[in-house]
Amino acid sequence: MLERLDKSQIFDSEKSYARVSLSWKIPWSVMAPLSLLLTATAIRLYEPAIGTEYRLQIFDRYQQLSPRVPTDVPISIVDIDEGSLARIGQWPWPRQQMADLVDELTALGAAAIVFDVLFSEPDRLSPARLAELLPAGATFDETRAKLRDLPDNDQAFASAISNSNVAIGFALTPNPGPRLPELKPRYATKGPAPDPYLLSFGGAITALPVLEASASGYGYLTHTVGTDEVIRRLPLFVRIGETVYPSLAAEALRIAQGASNHATKTTDPASGNTGRAGLINVRIGRLIVPTDPAGQIWIRYRDSVHTQAVPAWQVLSGEAPANQVSGRIVLIGSSAVGVGDFGVNALGDLTSSLAVQVQAIETILAADYLARPDWMAGAEILFCLVLGAILIWVLPRWGMAWCAGLALLAITAVLGGGWIAFDRYRLLLDPMYPVLIVVLVYLSGAFSIYLTTRTRLIRTTWLVEHDVLTGCLSRRTWYDRAITSLEGCAERQRFLVAVFDIDFFKKVNDTYGHVLGDEALKHMVNIVTQALKAGASFGRLGGEEFGLALEVVPDQDESTDPRQTAADVLERVRRKLEESPLPIPGNDNHQEIALTVSIGASFPLPLESLGDALNRADKALYSAKESGRNRVVFG
């Protein structure tokens, strides 16, 4: 391939680059990272669901690395476990047995008894229900009558509940149910009504009315999960229609303290308060629980290996230790597969609904709250903008190596700061976007600097190696490449060295001026380089004199004599220029300038240097001029 770059394209590119830079007043090394910074900020403001999921997974990772330290809080678990099912029988147990369970726990001094069980249907083992299952006929009439005279299991269970401090639950549904749950506690609020900010549901699956009326507390059992089905937060209150209902955990804490109501505190920026509209905290008896605007708390999980439960069979058999029940909130549920309701917690463990309720209540009693204040999202966005702007500013000044260290330091600071905020202050900082922005800004800025430097280097190299006016090789570059080509040539007798000189070029300058003379030089170079084959080195030696270095390789249909092949090549170039006159621009008569060239050529002798071969070619050039010009002469 001809060793000549398209100078006009490079200069046009440089002019375009200069125009853009002048127009924007900002270099490309700043524009690219700045655009990415603004784009990432916009994505953070209007965050897609996948971004939220990744952030929540980071918060989960914090808890996995540092679970809540177990503390002695007055909570116990009565587990309807596999062992209890094996001893007492399959679930559901008769409600009379549940009544016995309540009576035993009450006798042991439980402060509150909380059922993480939905009692929405009548007991199928009640005597009256069993009477309906007997075959028809007089044979079983007496048995049916006796069964119907026996106490109803649901009524017995309700009686036990009414004689104790018991909370039961209902399930939330997206669609309206046959009736709304009974609201047990009174409800107070400080500030605007919290209803618009709470999670809203269509209806509920309620407990049996007889049980609902007998219970001291009544809250919803349902756990809210994220799009990845992980249970991270517990809403202390939700809304069904226009009515606000408490969670089972909130009711457990209320009845354990003997409180009669719940109280919420809300804020509204429209009324002059700062921050986001919604709930600030919830008062449950003597406990003040900080919440997010929707009335939710982050459940601070501890490792499940520290969970100790009393099997239900021990309570029913009178073997339960009193110190694990007396004065405590006792939660009753099941960890048995097929009976309990299971989900994944923030630690990544499969856990029962009962365990989630326990962990939520423990979080409140231990006051070990995780928090993500309203201002945190705005602070994170501002931090990202400042951090990105600093990197954009220092990259062109410090260079890629120093800024790589700065970027690593920033990433370490972000990750370390996020961890310290969680471990010491229980704040949930999001390190994902700051780290992403540092990486994007650094990589884009570094790449832009590389491209800019590379472009300038290419341009500088081109200017050094080429003649600025004509675009062919400069004298020094041509000479160096010719020597390299000669040294690499296997057959020196095939290496052609030629000197070109435009005939009567001074006359062109004197007649038409130097501007048109420059155009003549460029025209001559353009015609010659088009006529030469790939592999030729063509350069300007000075003035109107040019040099050619070419290894002659004859075509199959040509003579194998390199001298004849070279003569044919040079003759073809000479004729091509002779047949391509230079049009005079702006001339209405379409006048042209005929350009011809005299060529002197030689082949280096076995031990001859390139300089000596060039001198012989130069002498041959003078012979060509003296013998009439516009011809090729070998020396």
Q: Quick one: pLDDT at residue 21?
A: 40
Residue linked to tokens 């309540």: 102
Gap between the Cα atoms of 627 and 6, Å rounded = 36
Q: Quick one: pLDDT at residue 211?
A: 95
DSSP, collapsed to helix, strand or coil, labels residue 74 as coil
Q: Residue 337: how many CB atoms within 10 A of its CB?
A: 9
Gap between the Cα atoms of 527 and 506, Å rounded = 20
Gap between the Cα atoms of 188 and 490, Å rounded = 101
The 10s digit of each residue's pLDDT in 107-116 is: 999 999 999 9
Q: How confident is the model at residue 45 (pLDDT cuts 50, 70, 90)?
A: confident
Q: Quick one: pLDDT at residue 29?
A: 65
Residue linked to tokens 């059992």: 221
Gap between the Cα atoms of 329 and 111, Å rounded = 6
In the structure encoding, which two tokens stand for residue 513, read together? 């001026």
Residue linked to tokens 């040079």: 570
Closest by CA to 116, choosing from 98, 136, 90, 137, is 98
The 10s digit of each residue's pLDDT in 26-41 is: 566 677 788 888 888 8
Q: Taking all residues of the chain, what is their mean pLDDT, rounded to a whole number? A: 86
- Residues 154, 126 contacting (CB under 8 angstroms): yes
In the structure encoding, which two tokens stand for residue 168, read together? 């039961």
- DSSP conformation letters of 342-361: EEEETTS-EEEHHHHHHHHH
The 10s digit of each residue's pLDDT in 536-582 is: 899 999 889 999 998 887 665 555 688 888 888 999 999 999 999 98
Closest by CA to 634, choosing from 607, 598, 582, 610, is 598
DSSP, collapsed to helix, strand or coil, labels residue 13 as helix
Residue 349, C-beta contacts closer than 8 angstroms, at least 6 positions apart = 304
For residue 511, pLDDT over 90 is answered with: no
In the structure encoding, which two tokens stand for residue 617, read together? 């070619």
Residue type for position 531: A
Q: Quick one: pLDDT at residue 556?
A: 57
* 522 alpha carbon, distance to own chain's centre: 54
Q: Quick one: pLDDT at residue 7?
A: 40
Gap between the Cα atoms of 92 and 80, Å rounded = 10
Element (H, E) at 205: strand 203-205
DSSP, collapsed to helix, strand or coil, labels residue 593 as strand
Gap between the Cα atoms of 423 and 223, Å rounded = 26
Where on the phi/psi map is residue 298: left (φ > 0), alpha (ψ -120 to 50), or beta?
beta
- Residues 287, 258 contacting (CB under 8 angstroms): no
Residue linked to tokens 């390199």: 562
The strands making up 186-190's β-sheet, listed across from edge to edge, are: 186-190, 261-267, 278-284, 287-290
The 10s digit of each residue's pLDDT in 62-87 is: 999 999 998 889 999 999 999 999 99
For residue 2, pLDDT over 60 is answered with: no
Q: Quick one: pLDDT at residue 546?
A: 94
* 287 alpha carbon, distance to own chain's centre: 39
The 10s digit of each residue's pLDDT in 340-397 is: 888 999 999 999 999 999 999 999 999 999 998 878 888 888 888 888 888 888 887 7
Closest by CA to 516, choosing from 589, 591, 579, 578, is 591
- How many angstroms separate the first and last alpha carbons of the chain? 27
Q: Quick one: pLDDT at residue 406?
A: 83
Q: How confident is the model at residue 269 (pLDDT cuts 50, 70, 90)?
A: low
Choice between 271 and 585, residue whose per-residue pLDDT is larger: 585
Quote the pTM value: 0.71
Q: With DSSP H G I counted as helix, E B as strand and the rest as coil, what are the percentages for the chain, rounded to 5?
A: 50, 20, 30
**CB hemisphere CA count around 152 (13 angstroms):** 11
Q: Residue 278: how many CB atoms within 10 A of its CB?
A: 21
Q: How confident is the model at residue 308 (pLDDT cuts 50, 70, 90)?
A: confident
Burial class (CB in 10 A: 0-12, 13-18, 19+), 2: middle
Gap between the Cα atoms of 365 and 367, Å rounded = 5
DSSP, collapsed to helix, strand or coil, labels residue 254 as helix
Residue 241, C-beta contacts closer than 8 angstroms, at least 6 positions apart = 180
Angle ∠(493,496,502) on CA atoms, nearest 5: 155
The 10s digit of each residue's pLDDT in 386-436 is: 888 888 888 877 877 888 888 888 889 889 999 999 999 999 998 888 888
% of residues, the chain, pLDDT over 70:
90
| Buried residues in 87-106 as b, exposed as e (16+ CB within 10 A) | ebeeebbbbbbbbbbbbbbb
Q: How confident is the model at residue 23 (pLDDT cuts 50, 70, 90)?
A: very low
For residue 42, pLDDT over 90 is answered with: no
Gap between the Cα atoms of 167 and 587, Å rounded = 105
Residue linked to tokens 């035993």: 104
